[in-house]
Amino acid sequence: MSRSLNKVMLIGNIGSEPEIRVTPSGAKVAKISLATNRTFQGRDGQQQDRTDWHRLTFFGKLADVVEQWVKKGDRLYVEGRLEYSQTQDADGGVKYWTDIVVNEMVMLGSSGGGSQDADSSSWESSSRGSGRAPSPALSEPDDDLPF
């Protein structure tokens, strides 16, 4: 069997407060939007800025963390996979959705006055363990890097 890969990594800012729901089976689901920014040179040669919005979905323990700690404006690093779906609107039209189902998250800081013990915290989705990631959290770039 050949392997395939569906992996997304993003760093951006949260655009709105998390939306929390509970499924009929009792599982918690959190949804948030994440903005990423990029700068590029347009056809006219002028520098342009663009913001892309991403729909993030968290399940289980990660949804609990999002509900408790994540606020609008916070900066996050997330890893997950792309999922595509479609729904039918009230007029009978089809809407297509692209979501990123997150399985790892690192909080990189907050724009507000939230009180956290450390500058960044890391969590990952896991069926074993506490939901707290064993790996170190990302930090701001270090100017002393040898490369």
| Residues 6+ away with beta carbon under 8 Å from 83 | 57, 98, 99, 100, 101
Boundaries of every domain in the chain: 8-38+49-124
Say what the pTM is: 0.71
- Domain 8-38+49-124 bears CATH identifier 2.40.50.140: yes
Q: What is the pLDDT of residues 52-85, one digit of tens each?
A: 999 999 999 999 999 999 999 999 999 999 999 9
CA atoms within 13 A on the CB side of 1: 2
Q: What percent of the chain has pLDDT over 90?
A: 67
Q: What is the rounded CA–CA span in Å between residue 45 and residue 114?
A: 41
pLDDT at 138 exceeding the cut of 70 = no
pLDDT band at 147 (very low <50, low <70, confident <90, very high): very low
Give Rg (Cα) of the chain: 18
